[in-house]
């Protein structure tokens, strides 16, 4: 969670509090009903994303206020200058989790960037994307294009959807670390859909692109995006995440 100007972010010190109170992680899980993996994630990552409901459960179990187990830190990666080399190295780190290396082409004073996957021909799937940041008000990042492509045959929609999910997770973490207020994602922007469709299995070619679009919407919701609205009306393929 970041403060209103996104130059700072909130960290938790749950691990310190539990040590001070001589409470083991196992016992705290019993107190709260939260899983061991959840408690471990929060303790091992001071910047972990914690839901409001979860924060309330933890505060009540410890009999302390929210501010008693959180503190604020300056965000050294706050990005008023857009996609600089320093920030793109952070995206490299996120993508490395999925064994993906990228090539970047920043433009528009570093406020936009084209992304291509290195060594694409030896990969079963690869990513071509375009992202932009808007720093005029609260900082926002928009995923404008997000194309999965392939030089291989007999891909399945499930494979493509899983790859999308991993790439989207990396983008979410990247946007959060850059100090963005909001990440926007258009789930049906397939500039290369005809090219990709010819590499699918014969069965999945019939269902493409409606099935992949539906799965991507499910992935977006599962990862924490919500459907965007305009004048009170839901936008069918536009999703946002606020940090």
Q: Express the helix, strand and coil content of the chain in percent, nearest 5 each.
A: 40, 25, 35
Segment 213-229 shows an average pLDDT of 83
Residue pLDDT, tens place only, 108-117: 888 899 998 8
Residue pLDDT, tens place only, 187-210: 765 444 554 555 455 555 545 555
**For the chain, how long is the longest CA-to-CA vector?**
60
Residue 96 banded pLDDT, cuts 50, 70, 90: very high
Domain 8-74 fold is 434 Repressor (Amino-terminal Domain) (1.10.260)
**Residue 87 three-state SS:** helix
pTM given for the model = 0.61
With 60 as the cut, is the pLDDT of residue 232 above it?
A: yes
CATH 3.40.50 assigned to 85-242: no
Task: Report the mean per-residue pLDDT for the chain.
Answer: 79
CA separation (Å) from 131 to 180, 181, 210?
A: 13, 15, 24
User: What's the distance, CA 191 to chain centroid?
Assistant: 21
Domain with CATH 3.40.630 in the chain: 85-242
Domain with CATH 1.10.260.40 in the chain: 8-74
Residue 158, token pair as written in the block:
């499930």
């Amino acid at each position: 969670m970041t403060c209103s100007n996104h130059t700072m972010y909130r960290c938790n010190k749950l691990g310190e509090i539990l040590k001070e109170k001589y409470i083991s992680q196992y016992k705290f899980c019993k107190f709260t009903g939260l899983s061991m993996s959840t408690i471990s994630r929060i303790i091992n990552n001071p910047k972990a994303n914690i839901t409001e409901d979860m924060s309330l459960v933890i505060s009540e179990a410890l009999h302390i206020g929210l501010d008693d187990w959180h503190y604020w830190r300056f965000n050294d990666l706050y990005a008023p200058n857009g996609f600089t080399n320093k920030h793109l190295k952070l995206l490299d780190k996120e993508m490395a989790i999925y064994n993906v290396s990228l090539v970047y082409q920043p433009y528009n004073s570093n406020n936009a960037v084209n992304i291509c996957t290195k060594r694409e021909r030896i990969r079963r799937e690869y990513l071509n994307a375009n992202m932009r940041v808007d720093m005029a008000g609260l900082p926002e990042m928009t995923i404008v294009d997000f194309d999965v492509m392939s030089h291989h045959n007999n891909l399945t929609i499930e494979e493509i959807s899983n790859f999308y999910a991993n790439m989207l997770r990396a983008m979410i973490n990247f946007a959060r670390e850059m100090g963005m207020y909001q990440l926007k994602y258009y789930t049906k922007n397939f500039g290369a859909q005809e090219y990709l469709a010819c590499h699918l299995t014969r069965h999945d070619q019939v269902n493409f692109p409606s099935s992949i679009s539906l799965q991507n919407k499910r992935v977006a919701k599962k990862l924490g995006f919500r459907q965007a609205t305009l004048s009170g009306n839901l936008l069918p393929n536009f999703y946002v995440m606020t940090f």
